[in-house]
Amino acid sequence: MPFVSEPITIEMLERRIDRLRGELRRAATTGDRMQARALRAELRQAEHAWDDALADLEDQARPAPQPVHKPMLSIREQVHHALTLLTVPAAPKLIIAVHDAFFPGELVAARLTSLRRDEERSFRVQPFGRPYYLCPALTADLLSPARGLLALSTWPLRTRVVGPLSARVDFLTGAIKVAQRVAQLPEDAHDARRLLWRFAASIPGAGGVGGAGITPETVAGLAQAELDVHLEADTADRAAAAARAEERLDGSEALFGARLQRIRRTAGAT
């Protein structure tokens, strides 16, 4: 049967240190320098082993680090993150896709349904009581809420107003912003790259079979080239609509749009 050595415990080391100190004291008393030198070296070795054993005990007694649970972001913050990345008004479907591609947590589509109404209700109770509000984009012709498009109240009116060319302009702007963010991520950021491919599929010359050959630089460059064609006209339309909005709409309507009754009164007066 093979011999199995007994593991050395800290108690055994303490007894060994006590024994060595006694033997060292006797050697020093009798003048046996050679023996004293050997005992001193052995004592130092035992003391180092004791220090290591004590450190092991401290590690075992130390409580295991508890996982840090970051507070869950509210739906407002999740939407705010996605819109801030895009920098343009967006539909809930795109907001969710951007959030899922770049941010942690889950953004549920059903929770977006009443979000705009909740934001407007909060504003009416305490106007400008929050740093920002999630509000609808406004149509350039009627300055009414644009169906299915969310924006940030902190954006200027010329960004929140949408005209005939704005859907394409905002799509291309979003594609550029997504491409720029993807370019900063590692190659294995699959969700982000799938979103980039979806944008590329609607940009002439940028798409590829199964995403082949699509790079952030290519998508951004082709999107910018097309954007340059439409941007001047769209900017003029939006600026004109924003000027009308600043003249006609009060604080709440400038964020959440003119109501039908207000539109009819304005039309009748003109």
Q: Are residues 56 and 113 in the same domain?
A: no
Q: Are residues 17 and 113 in the same domain?
A: no
Q: Are residues 33 and 163 in the same domain?
A: no
How far, rounded to the nearest angstrom, does the alpha carbon of residue 155 sit from its chain's CA centroid? 20
pLDDT reading at 96 higher than 90:
yes
Tell me if residue 227 falls in helix, strand or coil: helix
pLDDT reading at 263 higher than 50:
no
Predicted pLDDT at 209? 43
The tokens for 97 are: 């896709």
The tokens for 134 are: 């999630």
**Beta strands 134-139; 161-162: pairing state:** parallel
pLDDT reading at 212 higher than 60:
no
Q: Percent of the chain having pLDDT more than 70?
A: 86
Among the ranges given (93-102, 232-241, 256-265), the one the predictor scored with the smallest mean pLDDT? 256-265
Q: Are residues 79 and 57 in the same domain?
A: no
Question: pLDDT class for 113, splitting at 50, 70, 90?
Answer: confident
Is residue 123 situated within a structural domain? yes
Q: Are residues 44 and 122 in the same domain?
A: no
Mean pLDDT to the nearest integer, 141-159: 95
Q: Are residues 57 and 79 in the same domain?
A: no
Q: Are residues 95 and 133 in the same domain?
A: yes
Determine the structural domain holding residue 119 and report its residue range.
75-269
Predicted pLDDT at 171? 97
| Full-model pTM | 0.69
Q: How many domains does the chain have?
A: 2
Q: Are residues 24 and 87 in the same domain?
A: no
**Beta strands 145-152; 134-139: pairing state:** antiparallel
Question: pLDDT class for 135, splitting at 50, 70, 90?
Answer: very high
Is residue 207 situated within a structural domain? yes
Q: Are residues 26 and 81 in the same domain?
A: no
Nearest to 174 by CA among 75, 78, 84: 84
Q: Are residues 55 and 81 in the same domain?
A: no
Tens digits of residue pLDDT in 16-60: 888 888 887 888 888 888 888 888 888 888 887 877 777 777 767
Mean pLDDT to the nearest integer, 58-73: 63
